[in-house]
Structures are given as C-alpha cells and as structure tokens.
Amino acid sequence: MSESAPPLRNLRAGPATPDPAPAQVVKAKAPENMAVNKVLCDACPVLCQISEGRLGACDRWGNVHGKLQRMDPVVLMTRPGTVLVPASPQEWDGQLLHQNAPVFVSGVASGTTYPDYKPAPFIVASRQQGVDMVTVVTESIFSYCSFKIKIDTDRYLGPEQATVRFAGEAVGHVTTIEYGSQFLSLGGVHHLTGGSRREGRMTCELMERLGNQQPVDLVIEDGASLRVQAGKAPVVNGVEEQRMRVGCGSAAIGIFARQWFGHADEVVVVDDHITGVLSEHQAGKCLDMPPTGIRIRGRKSTPGRYFQVAKPGTGWGGTDIDDPLVIIEGWDPKVARPGLRLLMVSTTGEHAQYYVLDEALLARAVPMPAPLQAVVDRIGENCEPSLVTVLFVGGAGGSLRAGVTENPILLTRSIKDLLTRVTCAGAPAYIWPGGGITVMVDVTRMPAGSFGSVPTPAIVAPIEFTMRRLDYERLGGHTDRIRRLEDVWATDPHRVIPWIPHNPWPLESLR
C-alpha cells in the first residue's frame, strides 16, 4: 500500500496551513460484513478472517480469545559464550544489556510488515561495546525468491535447461555445471505464479521444505531421479553419492603425473568433460614421457585433453561407460609395443583398472601394482565428501523496506555502504551487487524451521537489518518504534535457542 503524497504548498501564498497530523494506522480495518467473532489477519495478502480458537490458512496466526496472535513465539538467539544469568531466564532483568547484548532478536516468528505501511514488528535497541545499535526484525513474504542447489557429483543429472519436477509439477531447471558440482535453480516467481494453481502450490511446498533442511525428491526430465537435502549427500537414482571429484581429467593428470611416472607408461583419466592422457599432456611432456601410440575417441581439444569421449551418465567419470576401453580407438602399431603398461582411472578414483598390452596390442586387465594403487587411493583421499548445498535467494529490495524506514532507498544505500548488516535468522546474507537488495544465504546456517509459507503462494523468511542507532536515525528509520531489548525480553513471548556455530555475531563492528 502506498501512502498518498502530502499536499503541495504554494510558497508565495503567504503562511502555510499547518500540516495534518501524521496518520497513525496500527491495524487494518475489518470488512464491514465480517462476523463479530472473527479477527482479520493482514499479515499477508490472503487476509484471513479467523474465528475464535481457529488458525488462519497458513497455521501461523490464530484467533486467541478474540485477538490475532502469531502462534509461535519470536526466536531469540544467545550470543556465543553467553550464559544468561540467573539460570532462570524469567528472572533475568536485562542487566547484561549495559554491556554487550546477550541475545539477538531473530526474524523467525516475528510477524510481517505486510501490507507494508506499518513499521517492522520488532525494532530493537541494544548495545555493542558501548555503541547504541538498532536491529529491525521482520518476517518477509517473498514472491520473488528461489533456491540454488549445488550438488557435488560427477554423475549425469540431466541436460542443461531440463525441467526439474516435484510431485509431477515443474518447479525449476538444471543450470550450469561448475567445477565438480551441478546446479539446479528451483522455485522462483515464474513457477509460483505463472503456471497452474497446483504448480504454484507444489513449488511453494518444495521451497519451504528445502529451506527447512528437509529432504525432497526430484525428477529431471531426460535425466536422473534425485533426493536432495541441505547438508546431506545427494542420492542419484537411488544411490547415495560419496565423493566429489578431485578435478577434471586434465587436472588429475597434472596433480598426479609425477606420482605415476615410472609405474605406468600411459594413464588415462576418464572424465565426461575433459579426459586426460598423460603421455600427450603437457605434464607428461615435462616428464619426458615418450608417446605410446594411444588413440582416444572424442574431440581433441589440446594435447592430452579430449572432449566428448562418451555420453554423459552415471558410469566412469560421469560418462555412460562401464568399460573404459571403449574410449580407446586403437594403438598406432609403429609406436605402441607389447608389454606397455596402461592405467585407466576415473576423476574420483572410484573406478580404476590396470592393463598390459599383449602381442596383438590388446589391453589385458591384470592386477594393479601397489604403487599405482596407492595413487588411485590418493585420488579418493583428495575427493571431498559429496554434499548438497541449498542457498536461498530472495529480493528484499521492495516494500518490506517501508517497515524499516520512510525513505526505502536510504536503506538500500546503507546496505551497499556497509553501514547496515543483513542477516536471515542470524545467518550472514550475501548481498548481490547492482540494484536492489538481493540476499543469498546458506540455509544450513539458519535454525531449522526458519521458513514458512502463505497460500498466495509465497515463501515467508526471516530477515534482520542491524546498524548503529545513529545510522538508523539518518536513514529516516521509525525511531518512535524502537524498543529496548530488555522490554522485548520482559513482555514478548519468546523462545531462546543457541547461536548457530561459525556465524558471525551480527552486532559486531560493521566497518
């Protein structure tokens, strides 16, 4: 909702009439035909009319004895190393606030600013090393948000741009592969609002579950079936992934060339993207390795580096092959010789086979010598555990800023100037460069259960803006709504949880 502009004043027309008193709207007016035993929830655009003793459509708000109430208490998080004294928090009078704030008011269950004409539900004053600080706390309703999923695996998940489905509905797509990881982009306003009602509902459910670190089952068109969960190993076609590759085939050649030297005449590192061939590779040249006459299928990129040796799949090195010899077209009889020692290995070391060429220049599998096995094992040792990372990306540069300040652009600038720190349930948020306030946060750094949803459909996520009080005043903040942390503690139902380890304390010096 936008406020109407103040009346223009004619500066030459003599003394101006006094400005009207500023509007003091604290609660939305209920519709005239609403039953008297109901309360109107205006925490999101659904505008539920809730009967006494019942919950609204999202189960987050209810009518308790005729009053609208957020059903979960706001979540406070204790500063690392802080023991709240005395042992019973109910008896604590906030004395520690004279020093450094012992708790941080998070946005989890704090309530929203919707319809964005009202100040944020919590604007909290605290102190940090003698400096007066303010944290503006709210739950934000995000229609423009998505999740970027990083899946550490070489297995083929599906073609780039392929549709990803959840419960049969299109909820996102496969995006680019990065080094050792494959990425999905899930959710977003297109799927939330641009398709059928069911597509929107399923997208919202998927996003809420991903954000709350729960497992979700996905199917990629012309690709794999997946189970992904933040902070856990991905499951591809029913098999739990173990290792993230050490590098591409060419990188593996470079890393281990000297360790293979003298124990094999040729090494081929099989990779869906760049298969490496030691004797041709620059690393082999530096070791004065002679040519072996090997001919590899696929497209030669540069010496010892081959593209497209096979189709992508769930076999050796993210290809579709089970027998690595199929990528060898043959051997040049003028160069190759019987007895030549060949190692073929994948980029994770999960697949490896040692061969010796016979009199007909055919590769015969034989037991692997111990020195080569040690290097294969070292490839595995250098592979990090395969993991799913779930990053929430949301656009916070819109109307929720009105809950912070009367002049929203000043909040945007304050964040870009590093005067205001943005966190999501205390987790540090990366702010994308350029316009707006596009936040990105790792959901495993947030308390489990931080995300909610409303049936518009949209995602509800906590967000906090922390700055010096002086800076809050300068950006036109709602200073008349600032409350002392002691008062929040004393009067607002709350739940105290520990700080998430490794997250920086948001009240620490901002610059």
Given the complex with ligand SF4, which of 111 and 426 has the nearer CB atom? 111
From the list 38, 39, 58, 363, which residue makes contact with ligand SF4 (rule: CB under 6 A)? 58
| Shortest separation between residue 248's beta carbon and ligand SF4, angstroms | 48
DSSP-based three-state secondary structure for 244:
coil
| Shortest separation between residue 141's beta carbon and ligand SF4, angstroms | 8
| Shortest separation between residue 40's beta carbon and ligand SF4, angstroms | 8
Residue 464 CB partners (closer than 8 Å, separation 6+): 104, 105, 106, 107, 135, 136, 137, 138, 422, 423, 424, 425, 426, 506
Given the complex with ligand SF4, which of 317 and 403 has the nearer CB atom? 403
| Shortest separation between residue 458's beta carbon and ligand SF4, angstroms | 9
Joined tokens for residue 31 = 């519709």
Interaction residues for ligand SF4, span 386-405 (CB under 6 A): none
Q: Name the one residue in this structure whose structure tokens are 């250098």.
A: 382
What whole-number distance in Å separates Cα of residue 175 and Cα of residue 162? 8
The angle at the Cα of 430, spanning 169 to 83, to the nearest 5 degrees, equals: 105
Joined tokens for residue 51 = 């009967």
Interaction residues for ligand SF4, span 414-433 (CB under 6 A): none
Structural contact between residues 317 and 272, judged by C-beta atoms closer than 8 angstroms: yes
Q: Name the one residue in this structure whose structure tokens are 């004043």.
A: 9
What whole-number distance in Å separates Cα of residue 365 and Cα of residue 399? 66
From the list 30, 57, 167, 356, which residue makes contact with ligand SF4 (rule: CB under 6 A)? 57
Candidate segments 39-47, 181-189, 252-260, 350-358, binder of ligand SF4 by CB under 6 A: 39-47
Candidate segments 42-50, 256-264, 428-436, 490-498, binder of ligand SF4 by CB under 6 A: 42-50
107 binds ligand SF4 (CB under 6 A): no
Residue 374 CB partners (closer than 8 Å, separation 6+): none
What whole-number distance in Å separates Cα of residue 73 and Cα of residue 442? 24
47 binds ligand SF4 (CB under 6 A): yes
**Closest chain position to ligand SF4 (CB):** 56
| Shortest separation between residue 459's beta carbon and ligand SF4, angstroms | 12
Backbone angles phi, psi at 416, to 5 degrees: -65, -30
| Shortest separation between residue 61's beta carbon and ligand SF4, angstroms | 4
Given the complex with ligand SF4, which of 56 and 304 has the nearer CB atom? 56
What whole-number distance in Å separates Cα of residue 301 and Cα of residue 317? 18
Count of positions on this chain that bind ligand SF4 (CB under 6 A): 13
255 binds ligand SF4 (CB under 6 A): no
| Shortest separation between residue 326's beta carbon and ligand SF4, angstroms | 57
Given the complex with ligand SF4, which of 426 and 452 has the nearer CB atom? 452
- The crossing angle, in degrees rounded to 10, of helices 249-260 and 370-381 is 140
| Shortest separation between residue 51's beta carbon and ligand SF4, angstroms | 12
Candidate segments 46-54, 70-78, 276-284, 437-445, binder of ligand SF4 by CB under 6 A: 46-54
46 binds ligand SF4 (CB under 6 A): yes
Given the complex with ligand SF4, which of 50 and 274 has the nearer CB atom? 50
Given the complex with ligand SF4, which of 26 and 370 has the nearer CB atom? 26
60 binds ligand SF4 (CB under 6 A): yes
328 binds ligand SF4 (CB under 6 A): no
Given the complex with ligand SF4, which of 46 and 496 has the nearer CB atom? 46
Structural contact between residues 194 and 158, judged by C-beta atoms closer than 8 angstroms: no
461 binds ligand SF4 (CB under 6 A): no
44 binds ligand SF4 (CB under 6 A): yes
From the list 77, 352, 454, 459, which residue makes contact with ligand SF4 (rule: CB under 6 A)? 454
| Shortest separation between residue 235's beta carbon and ligand SF4, angstroms | 33
From the list 38, 39, 41, 442, which residue makes contact with ligand SF4 (rule: CB under 6 A)? 41
From the list 38, 61, 79, 166, which residue makes contact with ligand SF4 (rule: CB under 6 A)? 61
Instruction: Give me the torsion for CA of 358, 359, 362, 365, rounded to 10°.
Output: -10
Q: What is the layout of strands, in order, in the sheet containing 305-307?
A: 299-302, 305-307, 275-277, 266-270, 341-346, 352-357, 363-366
Beta strands in 129-256, from DSSP E residues, in sequence order: 131-142, 145-152, 163-166, 169-178, 181-187, 216-220, 225-228, 235-236, 239-240
What whole-number distance in Å separates Cα of residue 130 and Cα of residue 101? 10
448 binds ligand SF4 (CB under 6 A): no
Establish whether the linkage from the previous residue to 433 is cis, with ω within 30° of 0: no
Backbone angles phi, psi at 335, to 5 degrees: -115, -45
Given the complex with ligand SF4, which of 139 and 199 has the nearer CB atom? 139
Given the complex with ligand SF4, which of 144 and 306 has the nearer CB atom? 144
| Shortest separation between residue 83's beta carbon and ligand SF4, angstroms | 36
Find the distance separating the first CA and the last CA of the chain, reported in whole Å.
Answer: 34
- Polymer length of the chain: 511
| Nearest residue to 437 via CA among 404, 400, 466, 396 | 396
The footprint of ligand SF4 (CB under 6 A) covers: 41, 43-44, 46-48, 56-58, 60-61, 454-455
